[in-house]
Amino acid sequence: MVTLKEAVTKADLKAFVKFPFSLYRDSPYWVPPIIADELESFDKSKNPSFKNADAWFFLAYKNGEIAGRIVAIINKTEITLQKVAKMRFGWFDFIDDTEVSEALLNKVIAIGKENKLEFTEGPVGFSNLDKVGVLTEGFDHIGSMITWYNYAYYKNHYERLGFRKEKGYVENKFPANNADPKLFTRLNDLIKRRYSLREINFTRTSEVLPMADKMFDLFNTTYANLSSFVPISDVQKAYFKKKYISFINPEYIKFIVDANNELIAFAIVMPSFSKALQRANGKLFPFGIFHLLKAKKTNKDVYFYLIGIHPEYQNKGVTAIIFNEYHKTFTKKNINMCYRTPELEDNTAIRQMWKHFSPVIYKRRCTYRKNLS
C-alpha cells in the first residue's frame, strides 16, 4: 500500500531533496544537486517563482520507506496571461513500481481538477530557466546540473498510466574545433560592419552584473513566441543574478550591442560541473566548494546554456560574431567538447544555426501530457 504525505516542514523537504540520493546511489550517471541550494529553491520565502506560482510537495511511502516524490505546480502567470489551463508537475522520481508513480500522478491530477484546469504536463519546473523533460534516450551519458537524469523505466510508467508525449527535446554535442573558423571569421567582420555592431567581452563578474537585467529583458523578447514561455519578472531577475552569475566564468558570457549600445544578442556558456558535483555529493562544505571552483577554472568541457538574439536581428548572421568570440576563448582555454542544453526537436532554426559544427544527438527527452476531463 502506498501513502502520500505533503512535505511542508524543513525535515520533510530535506527528505524530499535527499530521496534521489538513495534512488540513484549506484548510478555513475546521476549528478546530485547541492542540497542547500535545492532547499533554497523550494523555500517559498526565498524563491520569487512562488510569487506567481503555487506548489505542493509530496512524498510517497511504501513499506515504511520513501518510494517517490513529486511537485505539483500551478503557474498563475501562465494561466492568466497565456490562457493555458495547465497543471504542471516536476521533480518526479520513483522506484520501479506503478503503484507509486500512479499515486503521485493521481495527486497532481486531483489538484488540477480541483482548480478546473484542462490538462497536466511534466516534468517541468516553475519557470523557463528550470529543468525540463524526462530522459528517454542517452541513459549511459553523465547528467548535468541543468537537466534531470532518470532511469529508463520512467518512460514506461508515463505511457502505462495514459500519458502521451507532448514536447520532444534533443541534446547535442560536438568537439570545440569541429567547425572551420573561417566559416564565421569572415562573416563576423561583414556583419559587424553592415549593422554597426560590436562585441563585449568580460573578465570579471562585476562587469557583467550592471548589464544582466538587459540580458534578461532580451531573453524575454527572444523567446516570447514559444508556446510554453512565461516571462521572467523583475524579482526573478534579481534572484537569478544572485544564484547563477557567480557560477559562470565571465569570459564565457558574450554580449553584442548596436551603434546605440543597445543589447541585441547574448550567449552564456558554462563549464561542466557534473563530475565536481558528483564528488561534492550534495554538500558545499568542507570540500565540495573546492571541487566546484576547480571545475570552473580548469574543466575542458562546456555547456551552451542560452543564446538570445533580438527578433530584428535573427537570420542576419549575428551568430557568426558569437561563434567567433567563443572560438577565440575556447582556443585560449583548450576546450575539448561542447554540449548543448535541451532544445525543442522541431526547432529547425536551431539546427540550421549549428549545422557547421556537425553536432551529434546524444540524448533525447520529452514532457508528457494527460487531459483532465
pLDDT digits (tens, 9 = 90+) for 38-71: 999 999 999 998 998 999 999 999 999 999 999 9
194 and 167 both lie in a single domain: no
**In this predicted structure, what is the pLDDT of residue 293?**
94
Domain assignment present for residue 353? The answer is no
Domain-located, residue 38: yes
**What whole-number distance in Å separates Cα of residue 122 and Cα of residue 129?**
15
C-alpha cell at 46: 526565498
88 in the same domain as 55:
yes
Structural domain contains residue 343: no
Residue 356 in domain: no
Co-location of 34 and 123 in the same domain: yes
What's the rounded mean pLDDT across residues 183-207?
A: 94
Residue 352 belongs to some domain of the structure: no
Q: According to the model, what pLDDT value does residue 228 have?
A: 65
pLDDT in tens, 224-243: 877 667 788 888 888 888 87
Average pLDDT (318-331) is: 96
Task: Say whether both 108 and 216 belong to one domain.
Answer: no
The DSSP output letter for 362 is: E
Residues 152, 214: one domain?
no
pLDDT of residue 235: 87
The string of DSSP codes covering 227-264 is TT--PPPHHHHHHHHHHHGGGS-GGGEEEEE-TT--EE
Indicate the pLDDT class of residue 251, thresholds 50, 70 and 90: very high
pLDDT attached to residue 309: 95
How is 6-30 classified by DSSP, letter by letter? E--SHHHHHHHHHHHHHHTTT-SS-
162 in the same domain as 192? no
- The whole-number pLDDT of residue 219 equals 92
Handedness of CA 19, 367, 227, 370 (dihedral sign): negative
Q: Write down the pLDDT at residue 164.
A: 98
- The residue with greater pLDDT, 361 or 51, is 361
- For residues 164 and 212, state if they share a domain: no
Give φ, ψ of 312 to 5 degrees. Answer: -70, -20
Residue-wise pLDDT for 308-321, tens only, equals: 999 999 999 999 99
Average the pLDDT over 86-102 and give the result: 98
The total domain count for the chain is 2
Q: Domain for residue 355, yes or no? A: no
Q: One-letter amino acid identity for 356?
A: H
Do residues 121 and 269 both lie within one domain? no
Domain presence at residue 66:
yes
63 and 8 within one domain: yes
pLDDT attached to residue 233:
86
Q: Are residues 269 and 294 in the same domain?
A: yes
Q: What average pLDDT score do residues 249-275 get?
A: 97
Whichever domain contains 201, its CATH number is 3.40.630.30
pLDDT (average), residues 244-248? 83
- Give the per-residue pLDDT at 165: 98
Q: Per residue in 7-42, pLDDT tens?
A: 999 999 999 999 999 999 999 999 999 999 999 999
Q: What is the mean pLDDT of the chain?
A: 94
Which residues span the domain enclosing 46? 2-171
Q: What is residue 259's predicted lDDT score, i.e. its pLDDT?
A: 97
In the listed set 138, 171, 204, which residue is the last one of a domain according to the structure?
171
What's the confidence (pLDDT) of residue 227? 62
pLDDT in tens, 174-189: 999 999 988 888 899 9
Q: Does the structure show a pLDDT above 80 at 152?
A: yes
Q: Which tens digits make up the pLDDT trace of 288-305? A: 999 999 999 999 999 999
Sign of CA dihedral 20, 26, 30, 36: positive
Instruction: Tell whether 148 and 8 lie within a shared domain.
Output: yes
Last residue of a domain, one of 126, 141, 171: 171
Dihedral angle at the C-alpha atoms of 148, 149, 151, 153, nearest 10 degrees? 30
Residue 59 confidence (pLDDT): 98
Shared domain check, 93 and 196: no
Q: Does a structural domain hold residue 185?
A: yes
Domain final position from 320, 335, 350 = 335
E strands, 272-349, are 301-309, 337-340, 343-344
